[in-house]
Amino acid sequence: MNNDSGDDAVWQTALDWLMREHEKTLSDADREVFQAWLADSPQHRRVFHEAEQLWLLTGLIPRSDERS
């Protein structure tokens, strides 16, 4: 994981989306905003994936196939 870009706002937004996604089911409107954010920049997708991998590795969130 590499956050050399110094763009802490992108990292924080990725973490916010990750937490929201796993704390509750996103509404259709929220999911559209999230998908638009991911599509807005390759960096957004990369940082979100890194955040998700970090959480998976630490055991803080279950894998998608383990969620009910």
What digits encode the pLDDT tens for the residues 6-63? Answer: 589 999 999 999 989 888 888 999 999 999 999 999 999 999 999 999 888 887 655 5
Whether residue 17 lies inside any domain: the answer is no
- Cα separations in angstroms, 16 against 10, 22, 46: 10, 10, 15
Is 34 part of a structural domain of the chain?
yes
Find out whether 46 and 6 touch, Cβ atoms under 8 Å: no
67 part of a folded domain: yes
Closest of 48, 63, 68 to residue 3, by C-alpha:
48
Number of domains present in the structure of the chain: 1
Under DSSP, the state recorded for 60 is S
- CA distance readout (Å), 52 to 29, 62: 21, 10
The reply to whether 46 falls in a domain is yes
What pLDDT is attached to residue 50?
Answer: 94
Q: Could you list the residue range(s) of the whole structural domain that residue 51 is in? A: 25-68
